Amino acid sequence: MILLALAAVVATPQPGALHTFKDWIVGCDNVRSCQANALMSDGADIGEDGALMLVINRDGAPNAPAMLDIPLPDKSAPGTRFELRIDGVAATHFTAQANDGAQIALSRTLLNAFANGRRAALYKADGAHVSDTSLSGLAAALLYIDDQQRRMGTIGALKATGPKPDSAVPPPPPAPLIMTPPPSAKPPRTITVAQAARLIGDDNARCEYGGPVRPEAHRLDATHSLVLIDHPCGNGAYNLFTSVYVLDEAGPPHIARFDTYPGMGEGNDPDLTNGGWDAKTRTLSSYEKGRGIGDCGVSQTYAWDGTRFRLIDQNVMGECRGSIDYITVWTARKAN
């Protein structure tokens, strides 16, 4: 009985929370991987050029390095040289390796400069300004990561350094393992168009501008099938909704069960947003945007365990301030 009770507790995901410190947002997941993102200043025009959306990542392992992701201008050829300045002083130079950005390890010197600086700016090697960002709040974000990763007072802490060796940092807990039933080659059970329309209701199924209801069926395992019903009506401007049902080998469809419901709210609505079934990975996804450009919202991935959909990962951006690098707040492993 004790083991069963413990299993029930472990089975309930507890995603981490995000915290905003002035112009930086930070969060960690259940295996103590943490991420801090630069944000555009409040009131800034989201379409304006010149925002340097830096991201700092660090895994929870005792010897994990801290890494800085730097977005680069479009069409930056590999080999292009750049300079990062903090408060007008050159902090580091690096060479672009790919078009979409660069990643460098954060040395102690660079960490100190970031923690004590006011503004970071990216320049090309010829001195041309590319972009910049506020460092206000970054020191607090680094302290938060140190605390969450149990690094306070260690040599390798981001901000709260001390004499303790990195070996004093406890290893992170393992990611939960979700057991999934083996796949089946049997064709899926499905439902009729009329049944699908009744399940999602007239408001979602019938309107002047919406197309016909088309139920989409997939085989989950030997005894269960998944039915997805996109809503022709009742969608938002940038969020499209899909109802999720499960069919046994006989009997009517029933609303799919989730250990954590999709979306940004805390309700009991199992509808997916901008999501669907990936037959290759055998996972279900949902991506709810806070606004159209996608700089805030939540994305989730689920695996079927034979009775319900279990959360594999959850990535969140809680501030609509330009950052599209969502922060992972829950991680699990999928077996099979």
pLDDT, tens digit (0-9, with 9 covering 90-100), for 78-133: 889 999 999 999 999 999 886 678 999 999 999 999 999 999 999 999 999 999 99
Which residue would you say has higher pLDDT here, 265 or 245? 245
Mean pLDDT within 143-172: 98
Domain count, the chain: 2
Give the C-alpha separation, 133 to 150, whole Å.
28
Last residue of a domain, one of 141, 168, 195: 168
Instruction: Determine, yes or no, domain membership for 238.
Output: yes
Whole domain around residue 93: which residue ranges?
Answer: 13-168
Q: Map tokens 């501008």 to a residue.
A: 209
Are residue 117 and residue 18 in the same domain, yes or no? yes
Q: Are residues 290 and 230 in the same domain?
A: yes
Examine the domain organization and report whether 272 and 328 are in the same domain. Answer: yes
CA atoms within 13 A on the CB side of 142: 24
User: Six-digit token pair at 185?
Assistant: 């080659």
| 143 domain-assigned | yes
Give dist(CA 139, CA 257) in Å, integer. Answer: 41
Whether residues 120 and 54 share a domain: the answer is yes
- pLDDT band at 208, cuts 50/70/90? confident
Nearest to 146 by CA among 121, 164, 128: 164
Same domain, 129 and 207: no
Report the pLDDT averaged over residues 191-210.
92
Residue with tokens 């609505």: 269
Q: Do both 24 and 145 map to the same domain?
A: yes
The three-class DSSP label of residue 41 is coil
